[in-house]
Chains A and B, each alone.
Chain A
């Protein structure tokens, strides 16, 4: 038995390798094939390929084998399309999923032509593909569940927005009716009736303002703040315009700040908070301090200030700490909205001593805004 010397290196490869010459006589048979087929090298070498592997006496296989030997064109086979080099009967282990490559090989010039036949067991590879597929299917299922959940949330949100729109619209209709009747009462000759009428007007205006601010906060979730040049005077005056019967003083400064068109809601809500705590007779003063590249805006009132529980909540509310949730219940809607809006401008309100003197100590809320 003469094994061409160059093939010896292929002896211990972990794939099956054998070589045939132009007459399709086996010239080399490696150890892996011995293991797989139970046929020793001595049994195989020197015999015709179809002699020991009769199932390979197949027109297509022989044609492709010859293409490799005589035309030098390598060939690849998969056992799934019919050609299994190691047939099921021959395999000493188990049915094998096989990939076969036929590579032309020449030795000693043109005279010695061989085809090297390399057989790989890809059964494990197939299992890996199946495992990958299962994993992919699970991932797709999880993704679909997530998309369905997101859709549900989106629809619930849309529904909530619809309710909010309808509710706001209906409440504003009733507020208009209240304001209409209250205006009639304001023309009364009786001082007490006029006073009560003012109270009703104020409550309705506050109700209008809350509805408007809730809509504004809802929009915050969907719209990015695009900083623009905003007239501070206009924003303060718009805020004052929401409360026709409250004593709010402000001296125009001509200041321009970087904010957006929701800045007026900041003022409207701070004023609303003063009215909530101080009643309709509360006095409010807005002042502006020039601090170089920014303005500090102070809103002072002469109300009773905030109860200690609210103050504590407000400190958390103003905190930059991610873990400090706004205490909506404790601070009331107005200050919650103020916090949310100012956060968009990169600032937050701080409490201080009011400049307005009266029977109460009052409350000062200050915040800074960048100059434009």
Chain B
């Protein structure tokens, strides 16, 4: 079943994600004690089978990913996906460690997991405000793999659509880029659209 999505819907999604990550940026400001800006310049909604088009470009390395599954009136998986160089820059910016330091290796996973959790929580908090319902969530997990694993490993729901928002960060003069990926289960996009259009 295809869902008609208008420019206004895309704008509304972008606004929702921006509100969520705006709150996350505030938290990161306090944690890192430095100015963090986050923006979502581009949002796309695609059927799941076109997911590869977004990530089939120039990257050879695995991506650093933090994801969270949820279920309830709305089901799916939300993840923040960083190319490795951005993930390393983000970890360095947040911890103050320098590239190649022994500390950074030990810290990277824990730090990215926490930052990813803050970002994904922000986005999901914003979404659940619009949905006016509480969802059940899994514990956030961190992994390094190809982005398509995000789709392949969905076992608790049948995925249908994916909302992808490019996330641009600026922390301590470092420009970092990632993607917010929301994989939506069957019927979830329609439910979200209906709530967004009523809001």
Q: Which residues of A contact B (CB under 8 A)?
A: 59-60, 63-64, 67, 71-78, 80-82, 99, 101, 103-104, 122, 126, 129-130, 133-134
Give the residues in chain A near B106, CB-CB below 8 Å.
126, 129-130, 133
A-B contact count (CB 8 A): 68
Tell me if B137 and A72 are in contact (CB < 8 A). yes
Tell me if A78 and B124 are in contact (CB < 8 A). no
Cα of A76 to Cα of B138 in the assembled complex, Å: 12
- CB within 8 Å of A: which of B107-125? 107, 110-111, 113-114, 117-118, 121, 124-125
Contacts A71-B125, A73-B121 given; does A80 touch B140 at CB 8 Å: no
Give the residues in chain A near B105, CB-CB below 8 Å.
129-130, 133
Tell me if A73 and B95 are in contact (CB < 8 A). no
Tell me if A73 and B94 are in contact (CB < 8 A). no
Give the residues in chain B near A80, CB-CB below 8 Å.
95, 107, 110-111
Tell me if B27 and A76 are in contact (CB < 8 A). no
Interface size on B, as a range, is 20 to 34
Apart from the given pairs A71-B121, A133-B105, 9 other A-B contacts in the complex at a CB distance below 8 Å? A60-B27, A64-B121, A71-B124, A76-B114, A78-B111, A78-B114, A81-B94, A81-B111, A104-B137
Give the residues in chain A near B134, CB-CB below 8 Å.
71-72
Cα of A78 to Cα of B117 in the assembled complex, Å: 11
Cα of A80 to Cα of B102 in the assembled complex, Å: 14
Q: Tell me the smallest distance from the CB of A10 to a CB of chain B, in Å.
A: 16
Tell me if A73 and B124 are in contact (CB < 8 A). yes
Tell me if A67 and B111 are in contact (CB < 8 A). no
Cα of A281 to Cα of B102 in the assembled complex, Å: 78
A and B contact pairs by CB, cutoff 8 A, 10 listed: A60-B31, A64-B118, A71-B134, A72-B135, A80-B95, A82-B31, A99-B110, A101-B139, A103-B139, A130-B106
Tell me if B27 and A72 are in contact (CB < 8 A). no
Cα of A101 to Cα of B110 in the assembled complex, Å: 12
Cα of A126 to Cα of B135 in the assembled complex, Å: 34
